[in-house]
Amino acid sequence: MRSIICLISCKDKEGVISKITDFIQTNKGNIISLHQYVDRENGMFFMRIKWSVKTLKLSIDEIRLLFKNLLHHDPNSKINLFKNSDRPNMAIMCSKDKHCLMDILSRHKLSEFNIEIPLIISNHKSVESIAKLFNIPFYYFNLKENNKKDVEDSQIELMKKYNIDFISLARYMQILSPNFVSKFLNNIINIHHSFLPAFIGAKPYHAAFKRGVKIIGATTHYVTSELDAGPIITQSIIDISHEYGVEELVKKGRELEKSSLSKAIMLHSERRILVYNSKTIIFE
């Protein structure tokens, strides 16, 4: 049995569910899951539907064309189709903090994700030992004041070479240029160590300590050209007390950061996320 996942965004016209499910039934497909959401404010319809077929008579491209016909070639519509057997290629970029990287690679080693990880990029040489541990190609870039554009160009080349589908910033403490970001729109996942929109930017744990908050959080989001303002994927928090100094916040925060980022990678790789108007629709 093979399975196919389809993500659809389109104007909310009546009948999309009925048309798509009718197509699947007619083609002897068996619906495994169907999630839909109507954004009434914007008059938009979103759906994730997964079905299995014994033999794939139509190619993905042919199905896409048929679905476009069903939606009358609405220019606002987006149709994304994936075979479950397609494992996306994810690059990891990280700086010196290794807990998120370690968590991703540990899960990858135990086959928890349905992805390939062809390379790890870092601006810190110390990360190489972890990459080696898990036998993944590692690229070090010595970022300086004046070489950011060159470095990013080389990184983009690498992404092409390895056929990268999406990127995880596993505590990558560099701001990517709008050019870089535009190459991977809604395909770069960042983990920010606060409950956004609170404590945007550098040193959120220090800011949280200073404000005397009673919770700390972590937020994963797609990177856009505006700092920490991209569509939010996941947010999680833990309770803290006055007893936590900055060092303890950093330590406790690591737990949130790594589990949040791995959760976001899971959701993205399973094609559960749609982006519309700087917000995410997530079908869990």
Please report whether residue 259 would count as binding its own copies according to CB under 8 A.
yes
Please report whether residue 199 would count as binding its own copies according to CB under 8 A.
yes
Specify whether the CB–CB gap between 89 and 115 falls below 8 A: yes
Specify whether the CB–CB gap between 262 and 254 falls below 8 A: no
Return d(Cα 90, Cα 88) in angstroms, integer.
6
Among 3, 80, 106, 187, binds its own copies (CB under 8 A): 106
Q: Mind giving me the DSSP string for 189-245?
A: EEEESSSTTTT-SS-HHHHHHHHT-SEEEEEEEE--SSTT-SPEEEEEEEE--TT--
Please report whether residue 124 would count as binding its own copies according to CB under 8 A.
no
SS3 258: helix
Return d(Cα 86, Cα 215) in angstroms, integer.
39
Contacts of 59 (CB under 8 A, 6+ apart): none
Neighbouring CB atoms inside 10 A of 96's CB total: 12
Q: How far apart are the first and last CA of the chain?
A: 22
Instruction: Select 132 or 149, whichever has its Cβ closest to its own copies.
Output: 132
Among 43, 54, 69, 133, binds its own copies (CB under 8 A): 133
Please report whether residue 36 would count as binding its own copies according to CB under 8 A.
yes
Stretch that binds its own copies, among 38-46, 63-71, 157-165, 166-174 (CB under 8 A): 38-46
SS3 61: helix
Please report whether residue 1 would count as binding its own copies according to CB under 8 A.
no
Q: C-alpha 12: how far from its chain's center?
A: 26
- State the nearest-atom distance from the C-beta of 196 to its own copies, in Å: 7
Stretch that binds its own copies, among 19-27, 61-69, 152-160, 168-176 (CB under 8 A): 19-27
Among 1, 110, 146, 202, binds its own copies (CB under 8 A): 110
Q: Is 228 a catalytic residue?
A: yes
Could you say which of 97, 103, 165, 228 is catalytic? 228
- State the nearest-atom distance from the C-beta of 223 to its own copies, in Å: 15
Among 48, 98, 271, 272, binds its own copies (CB under 8 A): 98
Residues 223-252 interacting with its own copies (rule: CB under 8 A): 231-237, 239, 241-243, 245, 251
Say what the alpha-carbon torsion angle 226, 12, 270, 94 is, to the nearest 10 degrees.
0
Stretch that binds its own copies, among 29-37, 74-82, 148-156, 175-183 (CB under 8 A): 29-37
- State the nearest-atom distance from the C-beta of 41 to its own copies, in Å: 7
Q: Mind giving me the DSSP string for 125-178?
A: GGGHHHHHHTT--EEE----TT-HHHHHHHHHHHHHHTT--EEEESS--SPPPH
DSSP code at position 88: P
Instruction: Select 158 or 255, whichever has its Cβ closest to its own copies.
Output: 255
Stretch that binds its own copies, among 86-94, 119-127, 136-144, 212-220 (CB under 8 A): 212-220
Binding site residues, its own copies, CB under 8 A: 14-15, 17-18, 21-22, 25, 30-34, 36-38, 40-41, 98-99, 102-103, 106, 109-110, 112, 133-134, 195-199, 211-215, 217, 219, 231-237, 239, 241-243, 245, 251, 255, 259, 278-282
